[in-house]
Structure 1
């Protein structure tokens, strides 16, 4: 890999770490933690918001650490390093290939798309399911009704593809051969890919019901134009 490739790939990785943090951090800086209520929806919200408050900051730290090692791993192709680091930071066999790079770009796009959702809703964007002063139907909200959940999915799936492809530090370093690291990676994937998508599907239905009750015919007209809740052509 030439110097331009090393710098550009490292820059994309650093950008992905920044956007991952923005994706899982509330734009207003904080949100309400509701008590567990008697209904399934209330218990679900109790679990989701505490996961965001207490677990996701740890995921942000973990991804920042993996990104740091990935960038260090890349720069080792151009600089000599002590023999003691040879097993920990082996020379790359090559970049993760077009699938890995496509995944990284998808993750970055997801993060940027999430920020676009923040800007489209402005102060009305919150991690809580609350009444909104306006119905936004333009920008990202002209593609699907809940584009912020689509953005989270693209971000999590994209960066996971990159870091699990052959050629990445996570794969080449051999740490996935150790049980504790393997469990940590699977837990990270479960929280970012599986849990967020499952709960997004539930929340999207609840938010649709709330918006329908608030905006009535205006919401119905929007629903006819924007048929899908999260995934274009699928759901």
Structure 2
């Protein structure tokens, strides 16, 4: 039952991530700002697209492995890519990751709805721009980035820890796959993304997401200060935090 629940959650997680990473509105190119930031930070919308593809690919591979290891009479070639011949289990780290992704998606979708046409993935202004201070914006000034950070945290805990496809199967790289379900990830072991490599990958991924959030939050604050003056100053005093109340 545990592997069945896991694969259902893997698919649900991929769909949630897709919703959170799909732009709700196109960017009006003639109204963009903050175009001078570092290129590696400017390409966040492109990274989001690649991020979606990788998450869908992970869900597809894990689904194929589940089918081939559960229904052994079905001739699916995926077992040749995986050192483990048993279904991947539902682990506490995966469950924690799923909850983080679900919460991050909820926050981002709520931000999409709250801002309506004002929300674009590239920073831009709207002809009828207004200062939004309700819903999650009454707790932090940039909650959509809070959602993004939760997504990255959740995906890492779901797919770079023991029991995950990337760790247990290793995509068939000779000598790198884990043997059985005692593989690597954050919890140690010999998987493709075992131990230090999993931590390093997650660290770089999360740090990049945080840098994008900080760069854009600062730019958005400066733009809103220019556009709304005293109204923005009052809002900033009432809501001093960017992403997490009491932290940052």
TM-score range, shorter chain: 0.7 to 0.9
Shift of 1:114: 0.7
In the alignment, does 2:163 pair up with 1:163? Answer: no
- Secondary structure of the structure 2 residue equivalent to 1:171: helix
- Secondary structure of the structure 2 residue equivalent to 1:44: coil
Answer yes or no: is the 8 Å Cα contact 2:3–2:90 preserved in 1: no
Equivalent residue for 1:71? 63
Q: How does 1:1-235 map to 2 (within 5 A)?
A: 2=1, 5-30=2-27, 32=29, 42-44=35-37, 47-53=40-46, 55-80=47-72, 81-82=74-75, 85-89=78-82, 90-92=84-86, 95-131=89-125, 133-175=129-171, 177=176, 189=202, 192-235=205-248
Distance verdict in 2 for CA 1:83–1:77, change over 3 Å: closer
- State the 4+ residue runs in structure 1 displaced beyond 4 angstroms: 81-85, 184-192
Answer yes or no: is the 8 Å Cα contact 1:15–1:108 preserved in 2: no
Distance verdict in 2 for CA 1:94–1:12, change over 3 Å: closer
Higher helix share: 1
How far, CA to CA, are the matches of 2:68 and 2:147 in structure 1? Answer: 33
Higher relative contact order (CA 8 A, sep 6+): 1
List gaps (5 residues or longer) in structure 2: 178-191
Deviations 1:103-122 (A, max 9, x none): 12211221221111100100
How far, CA to CA, are the matches of 2:156 and 2:232 in structure 1? Answer: 35
Distance verdict in 2 for CA 1:187–1:19, change over 3 Å: farther
TM-score (norm 2): 0.76
Shift of 1:70: 1.6
How far, CA to CA, are the matches of 1:130 and 1:43 in structure 2? Answer: 13
Kindly tell me the number of residue pairs found equivalent between the two proteins. 224
Distance verdict in 2 for CA 1:115–1:67, change over 3 Å: same
- Secondary structure of the structure 2 residue equivalent to 1:155: helix
- Secondary structure of the structure 2 residue equivalent to 1:43: coil
Shift of 1:98: 1.1
| 42-51 vs 64-73, which moves further | 42-51
Equivalent residue for 2:180? none
